[in-house]
């Protein structure tokens, strides 16, 4: 697979990273959790006052793909919140111990019962305010034997003029699809690396799959 070189930019939006709340220490069970910058660090961390464990939190990776069949793209209509009833590309949180390729294929199988050959990495989108990183691959749908998984109401193929632009679940998905149809006209799909910042609270959060 061709790997594009990404420029290294470290940027923390609004001066502080997103921290998920923490009520109990996962190491000792204490509820005496404080949020402060450990000595020698530069970012606030949840620290247990009883056992001194520093609980590091890092972004979650969302992996998914654009399954192509001839000139059409497979979309799934969500059967779960958030964004119940809206359309999305198959995508979800990467599991521990899993490669991004396997994760993208697994999410496609779970959400659309569809088998794909994962291709080139296509969009990488940082969502710093909700601490997520989207990695979307191009993919080739291997057959037309697909159907809604438990998290989908409906699964179907869309041509460019059929995409339900007003009913897409997430801005990351809209951006990925817009880039795709523009790039397809040029016949070239360079990796698209970008950032999305918040319009409203939890705009692009998705539930663990």
- How many chain residues bind Zn ion (CB under 5 A)? 8
- In the complex, the smallest distance separating the C-beta of residue 16 from Zn ion, rounded to whole angstroms, is 23
Please give the DSSP secondary-structure letter assigned to residue 99: -
49: contact with Zn ion by CB under 5 A: no
Q: Name the helix (H) or strand (E) containing 46.
A: strand 45-48
Q: Which one of 51, 142, 182, 197 is in contact with Zn ion (CB under 5 A)?
A: 51
Retrieve residue 208's tokens. Answer: 């663990």
Q: 123 has which bridge partners?
A: 136, 192
Please give the DSSP secondary-structure letter assigned to residue 28: T
32: contact with Zn ion by CB under 5 A: no
54: contact with Zn ion by CB under 5 A: no
- In the complex, the smallest distance separating the C-beta of residue 46 from Zn ion, rounded to whole angstroms, is 10
Report the residue number, 47 or 66, with the smaller CB distance to Zn ion.
Answer: 47
* Distance from C-alpha of 100 to C-alpha of 61, rounded to nearest angstrom: 9
CA distances from 107 to 55, 101, 114 (A): 28, 10, 9
Retrieve residue 111's tokens. Answer: 């959400």
Angle (CA) 89-94-8 rounded to 5° is: 95
62: contact with Zn ion by CB under 5 A: no
207: contact with Zn ion by CB under 5 A: no
* Distance from C-alpha of 67 to C-alpha of 118, rounded to nearest angstrom: 8
Q: Which one of 30, 71, 194, 195 is in contact with Zn ion (CB under 5 A)?
A: 30
Please give the DSSP secondary-structure letter assigned to residue 133: E
Retrieve residue 79's tokens. Answer: 């059967």
47: contact with Zn ion by CB under 5 A: no
Q: Which one of 27, 43, 56, 182 is in contact with Zn ion (CB under 5 A)?
A: 27
CB neighbourhood size of 106 (10 A):
17
Scanning 51-59, 60-68, 156-164, 201-209 for contacts with Zn ion by CB under 5 A, the matching segment is 51-59
28: contact with Zn ion by CB under 5 A: yes
Report the residue number, 36 or 202, with the smaller CB distance to Zn ion.
Answer: 36
Scanning 50-58, 64-72, 149-157, 176-184 for contacts with Zn ion by CB under 5 A, the matching segment is 50-58
Q: Which one of 47, 48, 89, 163 is in contact with Zn ion (CB under 5 A)?
A: 48
Residues that bind Zn ion in the complex, under the rule CB under 5 A? 25, 27-28, 30, 48, 50-51, 53
């Amino acid at each position: 697979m061709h790997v594009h070189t990404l420029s290294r930019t470290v940027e923390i939006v609004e001066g502080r990273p997103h921290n998920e709340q923490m009520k109990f220490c996962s190491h000792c069970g204490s509820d005496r959790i404080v949020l402060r910058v450990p000595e020698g660090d530069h970012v606030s961390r949840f620290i247990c006052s009883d056992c001194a464990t520093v609980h590091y939190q890092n972004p979650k990776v969302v992996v998914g793909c654009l399954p192509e069949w001839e000139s059409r793209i497979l979309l799934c209509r969500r059967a779960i919140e958030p964004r119940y009833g809206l359309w999305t590309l198959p995508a979800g949180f990467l599991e521990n111990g899993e490669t991004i390729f396997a994760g993208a294929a697994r999410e496609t199988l779970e959400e659309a019962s569809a088998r794909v050959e994962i291709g080139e990495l296509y969009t990488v989108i940082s969502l710093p305010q909700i601490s997520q990183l989207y990695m979307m691959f191009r993919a080739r749908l291997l057959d037309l034997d697909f159907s809604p998984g438990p998290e989908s109401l409906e699964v179907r193929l869309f041509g460019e003029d059929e995409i339900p632009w007003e009913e897409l679940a997430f801005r990351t998905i809209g951006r990925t699809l817009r880039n795709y149809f523009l790039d397809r006209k040029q016949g070239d799909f360079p990796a698209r690396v970008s950032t999305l910042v918040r319009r409203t609270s939890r705009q692009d959060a998705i539930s663990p799959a």
